[in-house]
Amino acid sequence: MKVRTLADLRQIQKAMAQRAAQAAAARAAAEAARREAEERAQRDRLLFERAVGPVQRLAPHGRIEPQRPRPRPVPHQRQADERAVMQAALSDEFDVETLLHTDEHLSFRRPGIGPDVARRLRQGHWAIQAELDLHGLRTDEARERLAAFIREAHKHGLRCVRVVHGKGLGSPGKTPVLKGRVHSWLVQKSEVLAFVQARPADGGAGALVVLLRTASHGRA
């Protein structure tokens, strides 16, 4: 800023005085904050010493501690517990044959669920809302997939789902290994009210249509 008159000079001097005052105020505030922090730290040290007794400060070791990013925690134990619970809940030794209704089409229903429920389920009274295909899976993997599928379907309020286990045509001896296992696993799931063999258009002997409980555990 050019100074042409005495008034300009006075204006510059006033501005410089204001900036100097602001800088002094900022320094004073910083110094007050520093003193307050030191006093607080001193009070904390005294409080600690009174609580634990005399202490001796360790000599500086001179090492630099590297700042490495820590990996995110992985709940390995919880995952292992969930897998163990899932496997324990679905046993391959469970005898399901005495619980199945072997009419012209295999079916299952819980005690208290009338035969009309199986009939309506077979006729497509409930729309199929989700499907799980177990083709080509090993027994352990199929068990885990089925348990998770039923649990999630019930959690999201689905009533009717289809489980495709296959007819076993590609298995050794053309024996449907998964078919019997799936029957047994489904009977052991409390979320399952009933299931029937699917209609030919829905997979026939290679699939089951499953009716699940409502979230309020009401009747079908």
Instruction: Say if residue 156's pLDDT is above 70.
Output: yes
Do the Cβ atoms of 186 and 192 come closer than 8 Å? yes
- Name which residue leads in pLDDT, 180 or 1: 180
Class of residue 86 by CB neighbours under 10 A (exposed 0-12, middle 13-18, buried 19+) = middle
Instruction: Supply the pLDDT for residue 89.
Output: 52
Instruction: Supply the pLDDT for residue 194.
Output: 93
CA-to-CA separations, 203 to 15, 130, 197, in angstroms, rounded: 89, 14, 8
Q: Which two tokens stand for residue 215?
A: 């979230």
d(CA 83, CA 75): 12
d(CA 117, CA 211): 9
pLDDT over 70 for what percent of the chain?
Answer: 77
pLDDT-derived band at 92, boundaries 50, 70, 90: low
- Rounded mean pLDDT of 71-100? 58
- The per-residue pLDDT of the chain, averaged, comes to 79
How confident is the model over 173-218, as pLDDT tens digits?
555 678 888 988 999 998 999 999 998 888 888 899 999 998 655 4
Instruction: Say if residue 102's pLDDT is above 50.
Output: no
Instruction: Supply the pLDDT for residue 104.
Output: 46
pLDDT-derived band at 46, boundaries 50, 70, 90: confident
d(CA 134, CA 92): 16
| Domains within the chain, CATH numbers bracketed | 106-212 (3.30.1370.110)
Contacts of 192 (CB under 8 A, 6+ apart): 108, 110, 150, 186, 210, 211, 212, 213
Instruction: Supply the pLDDT for residue 193.
Output: 93
Whole-prediction pTM value? 0.52
